[in-house]
Structure 1
């Protein structure tokens, strides 16, 4: 049990543990502190994202979605082992969990795993206030691999925070150990990860590289902002950009080609608008949420190639 680290101390702890870090703009002040307490903290929680693609995963965790706004964690651990810092403070990652699990973590008194949780997200105690959270890029199907650099990063970030607070490895748990309706992370056991963390805590930290490793270049077009798609309060029909060609091609590939008579092109047309709205409805959006213009969540999910 402790007050959360400052952003500066957190970053310093990661770097001292040899973590490869990528800082994203505004991460130090991006949080949900206006929705509830942040601290005291008792441990570290590990998640999987059920996503594919580093750029998409990081942006989704940073912005969240309509029913669960971001940040969805403090850091995203991509398959290449880079830890992307996207928020600092309260984040929507843990949800409700079991008070018996919390007591076992605080005392660090349990066997291979904490007691199985009997409550879930809707009826448990607030974990967003009590745990640091790391979302890890993985489909969560038990088949998607966990590369060695990614597992190493999970080990290092957990050890870094445990070392900074004077905790042992049993202060690191998985989401499935906190809530009875969660299954993450799937594909490795938290018991084996705690073993790794324990070994590391008994060793001298590896010194970090002199500069953080930059993230790989995204293959996809970043969300260009609402104004890009609009002319005042109406769709910017007739606007020309190669981004519209790539967007249309992706919509056609996703099964919405019936709206196009001659294929996609660089001039924004009614076919593009109709196809995109149909695409948004296919994702479960309705009413105003399904209408033009695109939002960042559906845009990133479409994965429009770079122009």
Structure 2
């Protein structure tokens, strides 16, 4: 039994899988939860939209139509392979389906024929609508099929499921044909291979200049945290917070350090700004923290990009 992921975790795992994710409106709170429960989660359901056009498809899946209000899914997978998040929570996508199918999904067994519509699927499945006319002729671009594979693998991996937890609408509700244009058996094979190979790492992009700058900043802050207490202790500005480690680089959080510094500074009739300035000017030997951070960031970036 798996509770639904939090919206933030849902977003995180999709992006970690290498997907381009686009957020629409207040998708985190756009749902049909007032109509019934959502969860526990047992799988992922794939649909086709019977629509043409990226903007129109995303809009109708978010708003719904007529007697079927939105959201009509959690994510829309467009032909470019992007995932558009339009809602989170209970959504009008699965409808009533076969309880035997649900039991097979939970047990991760071969699916029986869907010949009943007696079980609430909106409660138990993440739903993804895929932009396609559903006529068997509208093509499925490789980018879109790869995105479906990644979505299924990301959620299966996070919940500890296998590929058997990813099904099509046609396998759930009698009379449904979606998705039409590829088989769910072939898609499950792709998801299984992805889970076995765990290609999350292969999809990582090389670090950008912005990534390296962020790493440099993090390292710079870490260096200051690690040496600030020791240097300030030696200068008599603060007491050693851990006398047993007087010969090592004592570590406490920067928040705690600055709080202690401010207390002692007031006692010594100094301003906290003066002391913080001293921390910012710390050097390690003849190398400043900023210069050292840049060197370490380049080395770390090279390692992560290899």
TM range (shorter): 0.5 to 0.7
Corresponding residue for 1:170?
Answer: 164
Runs of at least 4 residues of structure 1 off by over 4 A?
208-211
8 Å Cα contact 1:17-1:208 kept in structure 2: no
Q: Deviations over 1:232-262 (max 9, x none)?
A: xxxxxxxxxxxxxxxxxxxxxxxxxxxxxxx
Which structure has more relative contact order (CA 8 Å, sep 6+)? It is 1
Closer/same/farther in 2, CA of residues 51 and 33 from structure 1, 3 Å limit: same
How many residues align? The count is 205
Which blocks of at least 5 consecutive residues in structure 1 are unaligned? 212-307
CA pair 49-208 structure 1, distance change in 2 beyond 3 A: farther
Give the alignment partner of residue 112 of structure 2, picking from 88, 111, 115: 115
* Structure 2: distance between partners of 1:68 and 1:181: 18
For 1:143, which of 113, 137, 141 is the aligned residue?
A: 137
How far apart are 1:210 and its partner, in Å?
A: 7.9
**CA-based RMSD:** 1.3
| Residue of structure 1 in register with 2:105 after alignment | 105
- Correspondence 1:236-251 to 2 at 5 A: none
CA distance in 1, matches of 2:169, 2:57: 18
Alignment of 1:150-169 (within 5 A): 150-169=144-163
Cα-to-partner distance string for 1:30-56 (whole Å, 9 max, x where unaligned): 000010001001000000000000100
Distance 2:49 2:153 in 1: 21
TM-score normalised by the chain length of structure 1? 0.65
1:31 equivalent in structure 2:
31
Structure 2 equivalent of residue 207 of structure 1: 204
Rounded to whole Å, the distance in 1 between the matches of 2:90 and 2:196 is 30
1:198 to 2:192 alignment: yes
- Cα distance in 2 for partners of 1:78, 1:166 equals 27
CA contact (8 A) 1:16 1:208 kept: no
1:90 corresponds in structure 2 to: 90
Question: Please, what TM-score do these two structures have when normalized by structure 2?
Answer: 0.66
The CA distance in 2 between the partners of 1:172 and 1:20, in whole Å, is 20
Larger helix proportion of the pair: 2
Q: Could you tell me how far apart the structure 1 residues matched to 2:91 and 2:204 are?
A: 29
Once residues 183 and 143 of structure 1 are traced to their aligned partners in structure 2, the CA distance between those partners, rounded to angstroms, is 14
